[in-house]
Amino acid sequence: MTSHQHGPGEQGPAEDPAHEGEDLAALLQRLVEEKPDKTPKDLAVESGVPYATLNAWMRRTRGTSKIKSETLRDLVRVLRDAWGLSVTPAEVFASVGRAVPGGSDKARESRLLRVYRELPVDKQRDVLRYADALLTVSRAS
């Protein structure tokens, strides 16, 4: 994939400034290339991002600075969890010039419960003992 080259310091009309490391277009291109059986269209469908929008991000004809956090998380979910690629939320958020926002209380609680339910009973007991110890320590401080 190629795009029109601008002179040094010039920025195209829909491009965001380059960020340290890869921008979203380069990151997505690299990751999709790591899965030869997948296409940008597959990524769009599986993440719920309209293909025209994803394609515009990848061609750098649409800015990326106002992408919703949940959309970026959806991309990570597909790339990492469904496709098995090595990518972190921090990398994806950094590619659009943002830090990863903290998860909501509900999201953290949901994740904890999901992990807890997947553990065998003896490990669930260990988690409870550890949580009780944490609670005791935090109340003492």
Taking the C-alpha atoms of residue 41 and residue 127, their distance in angstroms, rounded to an integer, is 41
Domain ranges of the chain: 24-94, 105-140
User: For the range 56-62, what are the long-range contacts, defined as Cβ-Cβ under 8 Å and sequence gap of 24 or more?
Assistant: 56/14, 57/24, 57/25, 57/28, 58/1, 58/24, 58/25, 58/28, 58/29, 59/1, 59/3, 59/25, 60/3, 60/12, 60/14, 60/15, 60/23, 60/25, 61/12, 61/14, 62/14
Relative orientation angle of helices 40-47 and 51-58, to the nearest 10 degrees: 130
pLDDT tens-digit series, residues 106-133: 777 888 898 999 999 999 999 999 999 9
pLDDT tens-digit series, residues 45-75: 999 999 999 999 999 999 998 899 999 999 9
Give which of 44, 10, 12, 52 is closest to 28, Cα–Cα: 44
- The CATH T-level fold of domain 24-94 is 434 Repressor (Amino-terminal Domain) (1.10.260)
Q: How confident is the model at residue 104 (pLDDT cuts 50, 70, 90)?
A: low
